[in-house]
Structure 1
Amino acid sequence: MLITHAGLSPRIHPAAYVAPNAVVCGDVRIGAGCRILFGAQVVAEGGSIEIGENTIVMENAVLRSTARHSLVVGNHCLVGPQAHVVGCTLEDEVFVATGAAIFHAAQVGRGSEVRIHAVVHLKTQLPAGTTVPIGWVAVGEPAELLPPGEHERIWALQQPLDFPLTVYGLQRSEADMVKITRGLSQSLAAHRDDRVHDAS
């Protein structure tokens, strides 16, 4: 399903394929040879999304941009089922495995692998050829790779990155769920004016 959002429509290369129940919404450009498979969601909300050539987005993956963070996915990347990739940059030949998450303003270097259920946290800089092991967390600039049990160390590196300010524009001391959800509700209300393209 192709959707115009905020007056901007997806641009799909004729040699790309988007499954009938995938969603491609807004300012999205998909390159030649790409395959956006069943149930995948590629949603540009404010920022743009650019997907290079021969990149595969598997079933039920979610790729998003926001007004603060565009998304760029390079050539010959594979984004696995149920992965979540938002407002970051994946250089060429990156593998994002099933259930992995890559957050706002992260940079994943060429040829890197983010394995099953691994996380690349916001603003994290992952050098080319890095592997984030299954379930591990990459955080910081340059990235430190930590097992999930190292919560205190992960938090020590993550806290100065200021998730509420980076993602929602709210100082940590002011951020609460009422302000976050009100802000999201206001920005997401723009979808009321979306237009679904005729499939014919």
Structure 2
Amino acid sequence: MQFEHLGARPRIHPEAVVAPTAVVSGDVTIGAGCQVLHGAVLTAEGGPITLDENVIVMENALVRASATHPVHIGSHVLVGPTASISGATVAEEVFLATGTRVFNGARVGRRSEVRINAVVHLRTVLPPESTVPIGWVAVGDPAQMFSPDRHEEIWALQKDLDFPGFVFGLDRATPDLMIQLTERYGAALARHALDRRLD
């Protein structure tokens, strides 16, 4: 399904294949040889998404851009089932395994592997040819790798990355943080009420 969102329409190369149950919304460019499989969602929430040539986005993966955090995925990248990429840059020949998460402002270097259920956190820079092990978390610039049981060490780095400030423009110390966050973000997402289906 293709949708016009905020006046922008998807641009899909004639040699790309998008499954009929995939959702492509807004300012999305899909290059030659790309495959977007069933249930995948590519949603440009005010900023562009660009897939270079021969990118595979597998079942139920999510690729989301915002006005402040576009998404660029280089050629020959595989985005595994249920993986998500939000406002990040992924270089060429990267493997993002099933269930991986790549957050806003992150950059994944060429020929890197982010293995099953691993995370590349907010504003993290993963150098070329890096590997994030199964279930591990990469945090920082340059990235440091942590097993998931090292929460306190992850949080010590992650706290300074300021997720609510960087993504939503809100101070974590705000007493009604979640009220402001959900109302502001909800209003932005409500703009989908004006979307127009194109196919």
TM-score range with shorter-chain normalisation? over 0.9
Deviation, 1:21, is 0.3
Deviation, 1:190, is 0.7
| Letter paired with 2:183 | R
Matches within 5 A, 1:146-157: 146-157=146-157
Residue in 2 that maps onto 1:192: 193
Deviation, 1:171, is 1.3
Distance in 1 (alpha carbons) for counterparts of 2:171 and 2:95: 33
Distance in 2 (alpha carbons) for counterparts of 1:86 and 1:95: 16
Residue in 2 that maps onto 1:137: 137
Residue in 1 that maps onto 2:180: 179
Deviation, 1:176, is 1.6
Query: Aligned-pair RMSD on alpha carbons?
Result: 0.7
| Letter paired with 1:184 | Y
Residue in 2 that maps onto 1:78: 78
Residue in 2 that maps onto 1:92: 92
* Aligned structure 1 segments of 4 or more residues deviating by more than 4 angstroms: none
8 A contact 2:171–2:177 mirrored in 1? no
Distance in 2 (alpha carbons) for counterparts of 1:101 and 1:176: 24
| Letter paired with 2:103 | F
Distance in 2 (alpha carbons) for counterparts of 1:46 and 1:138: 27
Distance in 1 (alpha carbons) for counterparts of 2:178 and 2:157: 23
Deviation per residue, 1:96-134 (Å, 9 max, x gap)? 000000000000000000000000000000000000000
Distance in 1 (alpha carbons) for counterparts of 2:66 and 2:178: 19
Deviation, 1:189, is 1.1
Distance in 1 (alpha carbons) for counterparts of 2:186 and 2:161: 24
| Letter paired with 1:177 | M
Distance in 1 (alpha carbons) for counterparts of 2:23 and 2:153: 38
| Letter paired with 1:146 | F
Residue in 1 that maps onto 2:22: 22
8 A contact 2:10–2:29 mirrored in 1? yes
Q: How high is the TM-score relative to the length of structure 1?
A: 0.98
Which stretches in structure 2 are left out of the alignment for 5+ residues? none
Distance in 2 (alpha carbons) for counterparts of 1:67 and 1:172: 21
**SS of aligned partner of 1:59:** coil
Distance in 2 (alpha carbons) for counterparts of 1:29 and 1:17: 13
| Letter paired with 1:196 | R
Deviation, 1:156, is 0.5
Deviation per residue, 1:119-157 (Å, 9 max, x gap)? 000000000000000000000000000000000000001
Residue in 2 that maps onto 1:165: 165
Matches within 5 A, 1:8-87: 8-87=8-87
Distance in 2 (alpha carbons) for counterparts of 1:183 and 1:112: 35
Deviation, 1:68, is 1.4
**SS of aligned partner of 1:182:** helix
**SS of aligned partner of 1:20:** coil
Which stretches in structure 1 are left out of the alignment for 5+ residues? none
Residue in 1 that maps onto 2:106: 106
Quick one: percent identity of the two aligned structures?
56
